[in-house]
Amino acid sequence: MQTQRLDGLDIAKGIAIILVVYGHVMRGLQVAGLISFDGVWGYVDYLVYTVHMPVFFVVSGFLYEGGRQREPADGEADRRDGMTGAAARPFWKPKLVTLAWPYVLWSTVHLTAQAIMSGSGVVNRDASIGRLASIGWDPVSPFWFLYALFIAFAASYLLQRYPARLVALIAFALLIAVHRLPVPGIVIDLFYGLVYFSIGRLVCAERLAGPLRSAVMLGLATAGFVVAGSIAYRYALDVRLATVGTLCGLIAFFMLSTILAHSPLRRPLVVLGRCTMGIYVMHILVIATVRAIGLKLLHLDLTAVIFVCIALAVALPLFAQVIANRLGVARFIGLQTKLDDVLWRRRRGAIAGE
């Protein structure tokens, strides 16, 4: 893959993580009764949630499929390494390190902090450490994404003999089928994640740039996203089923990201994209703390609190991620480790997806 294409993927993640932070800032204020989602805030929230998490699943599926395409055939690996193809291409250990470990560690950190601050007014929902016993089947918000992404990787690996298109169709059918059933929300999220992970695998073969990268196509995709998303919002369709709007939004998202890969914003957005894990696992704690300080101690107006929360919930975890990387402890605390090529020296070659 070309460097600019991978830059585009990192930029997409960078923009998406800002939207994740924005969404949690606004939803935290809504749960606290400080803003209402009956009007424009609810509409914007719906559009944001239509597309931001699918971006991460699509990027992960794209990189997964790209990695598979670069792997040697099973027989080739057997002859070269004297072992089975599965042993020559380890799958489970990297995913346990980069997904399962951050999920367990940061769920523990999040719940511990939430339990300590319960009753203080800093957090909107009280919690207890005992909640940790159920994270194996009931993820703590917002860590459902890591849970669902791990399952998407595992399902795609176990079903790799089947085309990604078939996996996507089956996952979508199951998503529709279970949506109205009395099942835990994580079951719906698992199929939802697998749909867009599989779509990412489908578009791996150079389909999001090139002929689609034009202002006209970007405008049409954006218009399709707004129109389809608005219709879905009007009829109160579950955001996970607003599929037409999501697909239009994804096309617009990646086209814009590819364009930005040639702009002065490329470097800061690539850095954000490479640091999404740190921002994702830490931003809720930052938001809760900054919101309490801003409203209760500094008595800032709501607009200022929103901007400060978003800025610090991105900047502080980003800083922590960079420091952990430089100290060599990033992997130990479940964060990305491949940052030096974008932070400290001129890039040479493609960015490897993590």
Residue 176 belongs to a domain: yes
Residue 22 to residue 33: CA distance in whole angstroms: 17
**Is residue 288's pLDDT more than 80?**
yes
3-state secondary structure of 165: helix
Do residue 249 and residue 270 come from a single domain?
Answer: no
Indicate if 185 and 325 belong to the same structural domain: no
Residue 342 has pLDDT above 90, yes or no: no
pLDDT at position 75 is 46
How many structural domains is the chain composed of?
2
Cα 132 to Cα 108: distance, rounded to the nearest angstrom: 7
Query: What's the pLDDT score for residue 280?
Result: 96
pLDDT of 59-109, one tens digit each?
A: 999 999 877 766 655 444 443 444 344 444 588 888 999 999 999 999 999
Answer whether residue 140 is part of any domain. yes
Whether the pLDDT of residue 313 is over 70: the answer is yes
Last residue in a domain, options 263, 278, 302 = 263
What is the rounded average pLDDT of the residues 309-313? 97
Last residue of a domain, one of 237, 263, 289: 263
CA 296 to each of CA 110, 115, 121, 255, 290: distance values in angstroms, whole numbers, following the listed order: 22, 20, 10, 42, 10
- Assess if residue 110 is contained within a domain: yes
CA angle 142, 147, 150 (to 5 degrees): 140
Q: What is the pLDDT of residues 109-139, one digit of tens each?
A: 999 988 887 766 666 677 788 888 999 999 9
How many Cα atoms occupy the beta-carbon half-sphere of 35 within 13 Å? 19
In the structure encoding, which two tokens stand for residue 45, read together?
Answer: 């929230």
Asked if residue 85 belongs to a domain, the reply is no
Cα–Cα separations (whole angstroms), residue 2 to 9, 36, 58, 263: 11, 45, 18, 17
* Nearest-angstrom CA–CA distance, 335 and 322: 10
Q: In terms of domains, do 210 and 286 share one? A: no
Same-domain pairing of 258 and 295 = no
Question: Does residue 81 lie within any of the structural domains?
Answer: no
pLDDT band of residue 47 (cuts 50, 70, 90) is very high
- Residue 167's alpha-carbon distances to 115, 172, 337, in angstroms, are 40, 8, 31
Cβ atoms of residues 179 and 218 within 8 Å: no
The domain of 163 spans: 42-70+90-263
Mean pLDDT rounded to a whole number for the chain? 85
Number of helices (H) and strands (E) in the chain: give both, helices first.
Answer: 15, 0
Residue 309 has pLDDT above 60, yes or no: yes
Share of the chain above pLDDT 90, in %: 63
Whether the Cβ atoms of residue 29 and residue 291 lie closer than 8 Å to each other: yes
What mean pLDDT comes out for the span 298-318?
Answer: 95
Q: Are 151 and 293 contained in the same domain?
A: no
CA distance 316 to 323: 11
Give the separation between CA 302 and CA 290, rounded to whole angstroms.
Answer: 12
Share of the chain above pLDDT 70, in %: 83
Measured in Å, how far apart are the chain's first and last C-alpha atoms?
Answer: 14
Q: Is residue 230 part of a domain?
A: yes
Q: Residue 152: inside a domain, yes or no?
A: yes
Q: Which of 200, 233, 263 is the endpoint of a domain?
A: 263
pLDDT single digits (tens) 235-255: 999 999 999 999 999 999 998
Is residue 327 domain-shared with residue 181, that is, in the same domain? no
Token pair 């007014």 is found at: 121
pLDDT tens profile 177-233: 999 899 999 999 999 999 999 999 998 744 544 445 567 788 899 999 999 999 999
The pLDDT of residue 18 is above 70: yes
Closest C-alpha among 214, 220, 209, 221 to residue 258: 209
**Residue 47 sits in the same domain as residue 99:** yes
| pLDDT tier at 43, thresholds 50, 70, 90 | very high
Residue 326: the pLDDT is 87
